[in-house]
Each structure stands twice: as C-alpha cells, then as structure tokens.
Amino acid sequence: MIRLSVNINKIATLRNARGGNVPNVIEAARRIEGFGAQGITVHPRPDERHIRYNDVRQLSKTVNTEFNIEGNPNQQFIDLVLQNKPTQVTLVPDSEDVLTSNAGWDTLKHADFLKEVIAEFKSHNIRTSIFIDPQQDMIEAAAKTETDRIELYTEAYAVNYHKDKKLAIKPYRECAELAKKLGLGINAGHDLSLENISFFAKEIPFLDEVSIGHALISEALYEGLESVIKQYLQKLK
C-alpha cells in the first residue's frame, strides 16, 4: 500500500496568524495519525513562517508513525535533523524567499554537495530522499548520490491533469520506472489532491509514499480531517 504522509505546515500557518497555540500542531499530528495517516511531514524554513524549529523538536518526541523533515540542507537544517533523527529527511532546494517549493534539484550540478549531505544523514540511519523534477537525467544523477529515494515534484502533473491526464502522467511513469531500475525508492508530492491522486497512484509503478499538505488541509476545512484522510487512504489502495 502507498503510504500517506500529511504535511502539517498549513496548520502551523493558521496558528502563527493569530499567535498563541491554537490550533495546536502537536495535537493535530496526533489526531492525523489516529485517523490512519502513516506519516507526518514538516518543512521548517529559516524564517519559521509556519513550522517552527521548536515544533520539530516536540514532534520528534511525539510522532509515532514515520516522521519526515524536508527542507534546504543549510547547516541550521542539518543540525536540526541530526538532533531529532526523523525516519526520513527530504532535501528540497528552495531558497529562503520562495513562497513554496518550486523546483527540484539539479542533481548533476549539485552532485558532490548532495552526496556529502546524504552520507552524513545515512551515517545516522536516517533515510534520505531528494526532491526532483521528472527528468530522466536528473534521476540518473540522483542515483549516483546514493540517496535512498527520490520525491517526484508533481506540480506539473497537477496543473496539466485536466488538460490531458495521460500526457501529464507520462514523464512521471517513465521516471518512476527508471528510478526503480536504479534501485531508488519513489515518493511524490506537491499539489496532489483528492481529485487527482487516484489516477496518479494507479499509473505510477512502485510508488512508496505521497506527502500531501496544502490540498489535504484545504479539503479538510470542508469535510473534516478524519473524513479527508480516510478518503485519501482509500484512493491510495
């Protein structure tokens, strides 16, 4: 079964908008796990505009499913990951001023850097994943960094899903097949939703995990967290 990891950044955004501790991200994570999600994802940024570094420290002690920390591996981020030892770290090349992640790694250009960072995390028994565009040359270069997995950046799929879903899925299927051949695990995330997740899950072979935040939390405003999480789990079967 494809695992569902819920990104709770948007819950932290709502909390930070008002100050205080409502909604409580620790309680939200606990309930999300209770509703059946198999993982919790956070993406702390240097300005702490949503998930704060202290949230990560607290979550590392309370998350009972897989804990995935994603972000740009500057020294502050590396130190945070090594201090909290999540199940998985996902490396994302976002600059400090971007609103949300908007590109995968150039694994050719940054090969040496990625290999060094990945080796450090793996020496602490932390599974590694690289956020990557659906390009076969980037997949091939990613495999040489000795990462455990890749996370396919799925915004292009989501944007083009209504135009021609078969055409939109094609590069992702080809990249997934290549990644599997190269011994890489396959995650996916960004703009996946209840509307487009079923087709993606059905068409992508060997998919291990999806990380979903913005769409899932938005959908939960209408239908509730428990209902939405159970719908995702059903669609991922």
Catalytic residues: 43, 70, 190
Determine the straight-line distance between the first and last CA of the chain, rounded to whole angstroms.
6
Going from the C-alpha of 53 to that of each of 93, 115, 131, 160, 210, the distances in angstroms are: 18, 25, 21, 35, 23
- Token pair in block for residue 210: 């999806």
d(CA 182, CA 232): 29
CA-only gyration radius of the chain, Å: 17
| E-strand stretches of 112-222 | 127-132, 149-153, 185-189, 207-212
Q: Cα–chain-centroid distance for residue 223?
A: 23
Query: Which helix or strand (DSSP H or E) is residue 42 part of?
Result: strand 39-42
d(CA 127, CA 129): 7
- Token pair in block for residue 110: 């940054």
Going from the C-alpha of 28 to that of each of 1, 7, 32, 54, 100, the distances in angstroms are: 24, 11, 6, 16, 22
